[in-house]
Structures are given as structure tokens and as C-alpha cells.
Chains A and B, each alone.
Chain A
Amino acid sequence: MRLLDLCRTMEFQLPSALLFNEVKYITNLEDLQNIENALKGKANIVFSYVRAIGIPEHRAVMEAAFVYGTTYQFVLTTEIALLESIGSEDVENARLYFFHCKLVLDLTQQCRSTLMEQPLTTLNIHLFIKIMKAPLLTEVADDPQQVSTVHLQLGLPLVFIVSQQATYEADRRTAEWVAWRLLGKAGVLLLLRDSLEVNIPQHANVVFKRAEKGVPMEFLVLHDVDLIISHVENNIHVEEIQEDEDDDVEGPDIDTQDDEVAETVYRDRKRKLPLELTVELTEETFNATVMASDNIVLFYVDWQAVSMAFLQSYIDVAIKLKGTSTMLLTRINCADWPDVCTKQNVTEFPFVKMYKKGKNPVSYTGMLGTEDLLKFIQLNRISYPVNITSIQEAEEYLSGELYKDLISYSSMSVLGLFSPNMTTAKEDFSEAGNYLKGYVITGIYSEEDVSLLSNKYAATLPALLLARHTEGKIESIPLASTHAQDVVQIITDALLETFPEITVENLPSYFRLQKPLLILFSDGSINPQYKNAILTLVKQKYLDSFTPCWLNLKNTPVGRGILQAYFDPLPPLPLLVLVNLHSGGQVFAFPSDQAIIEENLVLWLKKLEVGLENPITILPAQEWKPPLPAYDFLSMMDAATSQHDTEKVPKCMKETDVQENDKEQYEDKSAVRKEPIETLRIKHWNRSNWFKEAEKSFKCDKEL
């Protein structure tokens, strides 16, 4: 059972009425005895004392009641006197007792009770009840090494009382006695030596088995019940570990930041950014600034972590562009100027828009990072598509000479070739070029002599010439459809490489292809032999159903995290893996003892195809659930109400006329008045940190 899920379910699906019925709130011993008497021979009782309603201990009990309320009678008190009257010395802390009333058949007999020794948390109560549920004594005739009970699973040790046929009756009584004494601390079993196949030391009458794996069993000779008890009690240290865990579940880390963006931005809050490199706009200056020059505007809200993280990248862009750009970098805090942002149709943050004189503003839709934004700004220095007017210019454009300073931002230049009379095709291409501005360089050529170019590059008009500057290659693609959308698609597809180095920035464009990734992990640059081997396979169409790529751990250190998820232990690099991300999540590893050469790869791929390879791991398909529970205020409110009117059914209000409300306000006074006192008490109990403590010391004389 997954406890966290359990908590979550309880918190949010809890019908309150159920709770009220399940938990009896009592104030004196007589009430307790009445309940006890009523349940003798019928059901067991979970009785708890909490210092106040609404505090975490109380919540833990209520949550347990939700799960077990139909099996056990839950009884709750906040009266110290009651706790004392049942003999508890410790009244400082919350207590929980399990009353074993179901076993009691004689009404004059008292129910035995077991005190839960761990602190009251949902997890502990849950464990405690599970143990109470387990049989008091189990008889076994198997190898103690093999025996496992619920106790062991919950981290409690097992105590085997060794018995023989001759002394069976007496041993059983002893074992029962021990079992009662150790209830909640260990599981007790009666081991019948006679029918046992395994040998245990002759004189040993007790076998002690710890919950921890790998710890050998102890064979003991103990002639006194107390010795057994003390031996067990001295050897339990599981509880401490459990306590730590409980803290995790219950309290403080709900309040611990687990959002990496929020946390890092918070940690960085005291560093002074050179904000002056960007112009801060206001409602008054926005329009004038945007009209006066070319602007990039960052719309952000200063309390939002993602906005503030991106603001840092934005400032980095400003630093890089300092004094070189005609584009003005501005920003507007939408927490101050909501009207401006609404008028600019900005509803999510952060958001970047480019305003150019005489043109419609353009929304930036790239990565929220320095590099991509810088690229967008630089590429937008000219407007697209560039109109090329001579063959010579076209050649310069394709060779990268024409926009030398821009091609570092766009690895590819696209040239649309059209006959002068292809008017609609040209318009569509212009639209596509405009759409892609800031992401790729596009140009258009449609002079009379366009055939010179189309012949040279073996293209049929209309066509696209794609100049890949890094590879120094120019290829042509005929345009079957000239719709702007299709052109955009062709260009974006063409931007993909056949065997790219996969990076944080470019993974999404390859991820979209929905194909399994064939990744070569390399510690540094890729070995050209491997590269050639893969490229050969690509040419031979072996890899059509995959996206082959490689990952440089030097450039993308996060790749190590990925390898750790795939391999245990991590074999030496390079490693070639096939990751079936989109269907099934299997990860297959190319055997690291084989050389990465074509033949081996082909063989491996064939084996994969016919299912002869086993995945080294399967990626978890788990949904992203809430990382931690939330405060369950609804239950706290219920608990507070149920405290001062336990019997009262929640009052219902009709849609009353205002006049009645008016009257009601007076009538209700007496009932309502009490509450602040009660709720206050809760607050006092609840304070835990130094701040509250300090506050208390200032005001101690005014305590209620």
C-alpha cells in the first residue's frame, strides 16, 4: 500500500459526516468505560489523547479513523485528567492506546490495552494498527530463516519460543505471555522443534530474528520472560529510522521548497543584476518607447520565479549586445502595470515581444534562454525573406558571404527560387519566411535569369535551395505544395540533421519525430569511425525508423544522469543505446564489448527487430503526481467544529432573507463567541519555530 497515496485520498475525498460518526469524542473516564463495556466481545477500540484539536497528531488520528473507522471504534479526548486516570504518567505528549476488547467475553473483565510508543503520526498509527491486527501468536514448524510475518515486513524483529511436544502447553502459555508483553515491539511465534527439519542448537529455547536483511539469527538460552523482553527491547533500533521518515511525511517539508526554479531564484535574490542595461517601461512610457524605436519587450512579473529566472538570461543578452545593437532591450513589470500587459494581449509570463516600426509586434516563441533569444534578436536585424536580386548576390548568399555575421546564428540559409510570374507561390514563401524570422535565414530569388540557378542546383521551379553552412553543402528541394504552412514544415524538417549531437536545446525538435532514439554517448567529441559507421547505416536505410544522434557528455553533463538511469554499473564509454521513448520505454544497450562497426550494428539491430535482445531497463511510466501532500484545511476546520458541537448535525442555512441574517447575527453570538478561544489554543500548541517562540516570550503575560 502506498502511504502517500493513501494520505492524499484521505485528504481530499473525505466526507466529513463519516468522520464525526467514526470518532467518539469523550471527556471523562466514565464515557470511556461505557464504550469499553459496550464493545466487549464485539470490537476493539483505538483510544487517543491529543493536546488539542487541529494539531498534526489530531489529524493523524482522524486520518487513521477514516481508514480503520469501520473496523475499530475510534475514541478521542483532549482531557489530561482522563489520560491520567487511565494511568498514564506522560501527559505531555499525545498518546494512543489499542484496547483489545473483542477478546473479552466476561463483562467484568477489563480490556487489555497496548500503548503505542511511537509519536502519533499517520504512518505510525497505520503501522501500529497493522501490527495489532496481526495474530498475537503464530505457531510454526518451518525453518525460522524462512519465516516472515507482517512484523518483519514492518521492520520489527521476530521472537521464536522453541517448544517441544512434551512442554507444549506450558510453552504456549509462556509464549502468549511474552506476546502480550512484546505487542507492538516484536512478533512472537511458537516454534515446534519436533517437526522441524533444520537443526537448531540443542539448548537454545529462544530464536531472535532481526528485521534487517543479512543479520544472522541469534539462538539464545533465556530462562526468564523478562530476559526475553529486555533482550528484545535492547535490540530495537528500527524506531529511530521510522521517526525520521515520519517527519518527512507529516510536517516540515510541506513547507520546503521543491521547485528548483523557485529555489534557485530565491537563493539568488540578493545578487544585484545590472538591470540598468535594459530600459524599464511604465504605463506612461510604454507606447512612446515602442513607437520611437525597434524594441524587444520582456513582460514579466517580479514575484514569479520563472519570470525572474528568465530575467537573468535577458540581462545576459543585454550584456552581450551592449553597444552593438539597434534593438532596444526593454522590460515591463506586469505586476505594476497590468493594463499595459492586458492591452498587449499578454496573459502568461514571462513573455517576449518584438516591436518594429511600422510592423505588427512579433511574439518570441523560442527557448527562454540567452542563446536563443540572442539569435532571435540578431537574425531579426534584417527582414525576411531577403530579396536577392542578382545571381552573384545569390551565390554570396548561399555561400554565407552575404550575411557573414548572421550565419553563426543560423546554420542554414534557405533560398526560394521562383519564376517571376509565380505570384502566389512567392507570396506564400514570403509568408513562411516572415513566420520563420528570427529562427532561420530565408531569401527569395525570382529574377528572369532564375533558371541559371535552378539548372546549376538541379532544381525544378518552384524550389528551395538549402545551404548548410557547417557542412558547406547546398541541396535543393522541389516545392510540390507552396502553401506557407507546408513551406514552413519543409524548412523546419530540413533543419534537422541526420546524425546530430543531441543537446538540451535541440532535443525537442528531434523528440517530435516520435521515433526511438539511437544515442551514442561519448565523453567528448565523437570518434569519426563511429560517426561514419552510423552514417553508413543511415545511407543504407537501416536507421529509417530511428533518430540516430550522439551526446557529448562534455557539452551536456546531464547525460551522466541519463546513463545512471540506464546502467548499473556504468560500463566504460562510449555507449550506444536505443531508447524507445514513445512506446514502451525500453532501453536497449549495444553490447559494450563489441566494436561499434557496421556489421555488429546491423546484427544488433536485426536481433532487436526480431525481439532477441532484452532491454537493460524500462523507463518508468509513472505519472507526475503531487510531490507532497497539501495542508488539509478542510479536515482541520471539521475537527474544530466537531470539537465544540460533537453531537450537533451541521446546521444548514437556507437562502435566507437578509433580515433573518441580520437577526441571526445576534442570536448566534453566544454560540460563536467561544470559538476564538478554542482556535487560539490550537495555535499556541502548534507553534514550533523560533519566531513564534520569540513572539510568545514577548507576550507571555497575555496568554489565554
Chain B
Amino acid sequence: MGLSALAPLWSSPGLLLVIALHPALSVPTHRDYCVLGAGPAGLQMAYFLQRAGRDYAVFERTQRPGSFFTRYPRHRKLISINKRYTGNANSEFNLRHDWNSLLSHDPRLLFRHYSRAYFPDAHDMVRYLGDFTDTLGLRVLYNTTITHVTLDKDQRAWNGHYFILTDQKGQVHQCSVLLVATGLSVPNQVDFPGSEYVEGYESVSVDPEDFVGQNVLILGRGNSAFETADNILGVTNFIHMLSRSRVRLSWATHYVGDLRAINNGLLDTYQLKSLDGLLESDLTDLAILKDSKGKFHVTLKFFLEEAGTNQSTDSITLPQDDNDNFAMRVPYDRVIRCLGWNFDFSIFNKSLRLNSGNAFGKKYPLIRASYESKGSRGLFVLGTASHSVDYRKSAGGFIHGFRYTARAVHRLLEHRHHGIAWPATELPITQLTSSIVRRVNEASGLYQMFGVLADVVLLKENATAFEYLEEFPLQMVAQLEMLTGRKAQHGLFVIIMEYGRNFSGPDKDVFFDNRSVGQTEDAWQSNFLHPVIYYYRHLPTEQEVRFRPAHWPLPRPTAIHHIVEDFLTDWTAPIGHILPLRRFLENCLDTDLRSFYAESCFLFALTRQKLPPFCQQGYLRMQGLVSTESLRQHRVESWLPRNHAATDSRLEDSSQQPGDHEPLDAPMAPGPLAQSLDSNKEEL
């Protein structure tokens, strides 16, 4: 398809002109993977593509990576934590508390080497991203602004079409897969009468001197609004903050995008009646008037419409005219808009169908839980712009979340286009409990992307072995076989992390008494982030996922297990954590997952026709576990095994086992314990 044929679709004649000036450059260069934007998400994706040896390029508008951070946040303090010490050596675990590093194999490329500050400076992020790119040799084309993206249908293309990217020089790039990591770059503006008087977060002065003795009105209630307020809190007469809905504190919602405690200085002064204040109102009903002295008055759009157009500003009705204690009756010196950001849809041709059309669709492009565009196959959205998947829920809009989703997208692509199945470890069933315990204790992807990414255990036939898959997008579980190239014919476990179902919310008291659960039998009522394991006999269908019960991240499972929340997030307690998990797994698989010493296996081998999996997979393969003298001693002391070397009285006791008398009707129950407990009562 020629470029001229596309031209009429374009809305901007200016762009058309640009293309027309460079007809000679229109021979496209092909790449399998094109990444838009050399920010954290684009670089993270580039890293995985590079490691896999794929044909890719990153297109970057400016001359260095991470240009967003050269200007934002305006007050230069990142609110993503840079926890350099955890007391734990485990590098995977430490990523749970490192919100700035990208994933790589190189331990030098950890953010803690770039800043000592707990809330680091944005310049350090710029430096870090630059180093990340250079050290790993990522292929970034700088100073390349993609001005237009469209589709070119082609049978031979991986996805039935190529993505055609045109840069500012008219150079055309043909891509099999397009990975959009352009972030949210367009300031969100609300249109109301007088909005022209409003200064934007992106351009307002950050020098407190410019605000001395002023009355300031800030629109918005997010971190940027509070960050702006904090900066000038000490010099203004007062700050009023106006937003559509109540403030959401991240420690109550457990969502890092809500207001963080580090920015909440204004809440303090509001509640202590130190002149600053918070108000709720829908911004679209507002109007701002500028009076003859250059001061701003807040009124309602309604009054403005009533008054008509030819009235002078001073004679328009103000709310306080009717209602003389109206909160915002004072005139303001400045009005600042801090309303967040939207995705830049302007470069994408309509045929890509990135825009959903509704109001929320103005902020984020429309994508599936696999991060693939709903409108165009082969187009994936990464990074902040992909946050629609877990907006106000998890961390997918932030570095510490999307570094994992980028990896998940990469794994999906490796399977789709290169036949490489989702990485998995196959292990004998005796390792199942340990594998799960290990992951829930160290995995950072599960922890950061709670409720979004899940580990999946795929059982093999007869449940003698399993495959362990890490960090699969939860909502895509119905399509797991197709997306991963793995088989889930014999049941599966899905392991995720969850907060308590009713614990989080802007109005929740998260410090109530008894908020923490300590008893294993109450584990399902755990409030703080804790591991939850879902068992399914069959892979859930798409229908089941879509029509799952309200507030459930997954469809109703065959069985569910909660590992009780832990103050230290250390889920390795033998009785409190591991034992209940084993019982759950045993009952799902209908087998005995206990471990046994070689001596017990020996006894079982000669007194039973079947052996427990641990003996089958260990002892019988000449890999039995031999106990040491000291352990043998404990074994004798505990009630667990029968003491075979013991005195005669002991022998007599055991000889009364029913199994000895009626071997056919009353076979011994498995295991020494079960034998002692169950032998009589099992038969009703």
C-alpha cells in the first residue's frame, strides 16, 4: 500500500506536507520489533529483546533515554522508594523493596548504586536509564520522532499486517510487532469557563518565592497536586485544593498511585485548621472569573450561562451572593491545574483502533489483560500507558510493576513468534510444597503485581510431576495453553498475592484493632498482602473468567488456600505456613506429600504394596534421606514413628493393630500417624 493512499485518512494537512516533501525516503526499513519510547518500559522491553537476540529498535524523540524524568516530577523528588537495605541477601526478594531498578542480569544496574536517597532525585533516574541503555548496548534511535503510525495489510506479516511508522524526517519504518511505551504525555485539561486563567503543573513556577503572600487554588488531588502544594505551603497565605472526589490515601487504598504520605503536608494543615483546605466539587461545573484587579473568583458555570455573554466580569453572580458563607468566596491570586496526564493518541491512525471512545478511553489506550491492543493484533502497550489493566489496583503503571509485565509480554511474544514455550521448571511432585513456599517468599513480580501476575503450577498426569510457570497475566488464564505453549490437562494451581477483600479503600480504617490475623484457621480473613493459592481441576474458560464472582480476581476454584498473613512477610514457619499449605496440596491432589526418612520408606516398601511419593521418587531411586543419630533420637521421642528397636511392651502395643488381624478388610492406614489416629474411627 502506498503512502499516498493513506494520506486522505489523515486529519492534519501539516503532516501530509511533511511526507510529501520526502518522497525519496519512503523505502521502509523493516524490523521485527519496534519499541516506541526509550523510557523505563521501552528500555525494559529492549533489554528482553536484546537478550533473546531479536531484531528490534527503540525510537526515541529526544537525544537521551528517560526524557520525561528530565522535567518531571517538577519538584524532582521521586516517590518510588529506593530501599537499599533489607537485611536480606536474596536479590529477588530485595526487588520487592526496590521500586526504581529495571530487571537485568547485571547487579551493577541496580538503582541503589545510583542514589542513596530513600526518595531519590529524578536526575538520578535519568542517569540510571542512560547507564542501563549504554551498559547493555540497547539499540535506541535517538532524535527520532514518530509522527504517524498506521497499518499495512499483508498476508505474509506475522499478524496479517505491518505497522508503518513515519518519523519526522519522513523515513518510514515497517514493523511486525509494535510495542508502545510512550507513557502518558498529554496534560489532562478540564474545559470550563475561565480555564484559560489556569496555570498547568507542567509549566507552573517551582520557585516558592513566586508564591509569597498569595492565595492559591490547586485543582486536583493526586500526588502532583500535593507535591505542588507542599513546595509552597510555607510561603502562601493559604492553599485551597479542589477535586471531584475525596482524597485517596495510598496507605488506605494500598495503591501506590494514590496520595503518598510523603506528600501529605497539606492534609496536616487542613485538619489542624491552619488556613489550608480541601474541597470536593465537580470541576466541569465550575467557572473562574478574573476581576478588574486580576484576582480570580470561583463561581458556577450555571451563573455564567444565566448572565449571558455581554455582562462585565464584576457583575456576574458569585455563589456567595446567595450563600454568604460559601467556602471559596475569597479571591485567588493563582489557580494551578494538577490533573494528571493522558496518553497521546494523536500519532496513531484511526485504523489501529487504539481509542475506546468513552471518557476513560481518553486517558489510556484500549488493551487486553495480555497488554495487546484490542483493536490491532501485534500492537502491545507497555509501561505507564498500560495501566488500564490494573488502574487503582496494582502497580502496573509504575516501574516496579511494569518491569514485570514487560517481561510477561516478551514471553508471550517469544512463544507466538518464535515457538519458545513460556519458561517452566519441571519438578517431581515432592518438590511442590517447597517450590510454592520458595516463590511466595522471594518472588518480587508476584508481590509488586499482586492480583495481576500469577505463578501457575501445571500438573502432569497422575500428579507425579508438575511444571512451574512464573508471572503469567492472571486474567489470561483461560488462554494459558495457547499463550504459553504449555499443557494444562491435569489440573493447575494459581498462586497470587492478595490484600484482604475488604481491607483497602479510600474510606477504610486500616489501623483498626485486630486487623492482623495470626491463626492459621483464620488465614482466609488475612488483611495484609498474603499468598493465595487457587486450585482448578480444569483450566477455567474465558466465560468463567469474565463472569467470575464480584471482587474475585479469578473464577471460583475447586479449592482455595490462604497462607496466613505475616508481619515479616516471611512465610516459612513449619506449622503456621508450610504445614497448612501441604495439607491443602495433599487434599487437592489426593495424595500424601509428607517426607520420610529412608528407614520409614524401607518399612513401607516391605509392608505395603504402594509407597508415598516421597519414597517413590527418592528412596526407591536410591536417593533416600538418611537420618543422623541426633534426628533419629528426636524421631524416637516424638510420637511420629513406631520405635522398632523398643522393648517388648511396645511390640505388644503395636501388635494390636487391626491390620494384623484382618489384613484384607482393614488395611493399615497410610503412615504411622494416620495409623494411630485413624485405624478405628475411619470405619463408621
Contact = CB atoms under 8 A, between A and B. Distances in A.
Interface of A: 1-4, 8, 11-13, 16, 123, 126-127, 154, 245, 248-249, 253-255, 257-268, 271, 282-283, 301, 303-306, 309-310, 312-313, 316, 335-339, 347-349, 365-372, 504-505, 507-509, 511-512, 517, 519, 556-562, 564-570, 579, 581, 585, 617-634, 636-637, 650-655, 657-659, 661-662, 665-666, 669, 672-673, 675-676, 679-680, 682-684, 686-687, 691-692, 699, 702, 704
B549 A12 contact: no
Interface of B: 88-92, 245, 356, 358-361, 364, 388-389, 391-393, 425, 427-428, 431, 434, 437-438, 441-442, 475, 501-503, 505-507, 512-514, 517-525, 545-552, 556-562, 572, 574-575, 578-580, 582-584, 586-588, 590-600, 602-603, 605-613, 618-628, 630-632, 634-635, 637-638, 640-642, 644-645, 651, 654-655, 657, 659-661, 663-664, 667-674, 677-678, 680-684
Contact of A565 (B92, B388, B583, B660): B660
Given A261-B596, A268-B631, A658-B391, A370 B645 contact: no
A619 B613 contact: no
Contact of B673 (A11, A258, A265, A666): A258
B583 A633 contact: no
Given A282-B89, A369-B598, A558-B599, A617 B663 contact: yes
Nearest to A265: B631
B572 A303 contact: yes
Nearest to A683: B522
A368 B607 contact: no
Nearest to B622: A508
Given A301-B434, A338-B91, A560-B644, A245 B631 contact: no
B89 A657 contact: no
A261 B602 contact: no
Contacts of A624: 591-592, 610-613, 670-671
A585 B609 CA distance: 6
B91 A339 contact: yes
Closest 4 CB pairs of A and B: A369-B626, A620-B667, A659-B360, A303-B572
A248 B684 contact: no
A626 B624 contact: no
Contacts, number: 388
Given A264-B638, A370-B628, A581-B605, 4 more contacts: A262-B595, A370-B626, A511-B620, A692-B518
Nearest to A273: B630
Contacts of A316: 628
A265 B633 CA distance: 11
A633 B603 contact: no
A569 B654 CA distance: 11
Given A630-B587, A676-B512, A264 B592 contact: no
B651 A564 contact: yes
Contacts of A651: 549-550
Contact of A369 (B358, B625, B674): B625
A309 B600 CA distance: 15
Nearest to A246: B681
A1 B162 CA distance: 65
A271 B609 contact: no
Contact of B605 (A13, A264, A507): A507
Contact of A618 (B438, B545, B664): B664
Contact of A626 (B91, B361, B552, B587): B587
A687 B393 CA distance: 32
A620 B561 contact: no
B339 to A, nearest CB: 15
Contacts of A654: 546-547
A702 to B, nearest CB: 5
B624 A335 contact: no
B434 A658 contact: no
28 contacts: A4-B678, A154-B684, A245-B681, A248-B681, A253-B677, A255-B521, A303-B578, A305-B595, A365-B623, A367-B622, A368-B623, A505-B626, A556-B602, A564-B651, A565-B659, A618-B663, A620-B667, A621-B667, A623-B591, A626-B591, A630-B586, A631-B524, A637-B524, A653-B550, A657-B388, A661-B393, A665-B505, A673-B502
Interface centre among B513, B622, B660, B674 (most CB of A within 10 A): B622
A485 B558 CA distance: 45
Contacts of A620: 608-609, 659, 663, 667-668
B356 A657 contact: yes
Contacts of B389: 658
A622 B669 contact: yes
Contact of B587 (A8, A348, A691): A8
Contacts of A673: 502
Contacts of A687: 519
A12 B521 contact: no
Contacts of B605: 507, 511, 581
Contact of B561 (A304, A519, A560, A630): A630
Contacts of B552: 653
Given A303-B572, A309-B631, A568-B655, A669 B507 contact: yes
Contacts of B590: 8, 625-626
B608 A267 contact: no
Given A507-B602, A579-B606, A620-B608, A267 B638 contact: yes
B89 A631 contact: no
B610 A367 contact: no
Contact of B425 (A12, A347, A511, A559): A347
Nearest to B525: A679
Contacts of A253: 677
Given A620-B608, A620-B609, A621-B609, A264 B677 contact: no
B556 A16 contact: yes
B641 A349 contact: no
B642 A561 contact: yes
A310 B584 CA distance: 26
A581 B606 contact: yes
Contact of B625 (A257, A368, A627, A666): A368
Contacts of A265: 631
A306 B611 CA distance: 18
B608 A622 contact: yes
A97 to B, nearest CB: 23
B660 A564 contact: yes
B624 A348 contact: no
Given A12-B558, A682-B525, A652 B587 contact: no
Contacts of A260: 594-597, 600, 635, 638, 640-641, 672
Contact of B597 (A261, A337, A618): A261
B603 A338 contact: no
A686 B651 CA distance: 40
A619 B673 contact: no
Contacts of B672: 260
A669 B246 CA distance: 14
Nearest to A561: B644
B624 A634 contact: no
A568 B602 contact: no
Nearest to A269: B574
Nearest to A687: B519
B91 to A, nearest CB: 6
A320 to B, nearest CB: 12
B438 to A, nearest CB: 7
B364 A658 contact: yes
A562 B651 CA distance: 11
Contacts of B574: 257, 262, 266, 305
A631 B521 CA distance: 7
B304 to A, nearest CB: 28
B354 to A, nearest CB: 15
A12 B587 contact: yes
Given A369-B626, A564-B660, A631-B583, A505 B609 contact: no
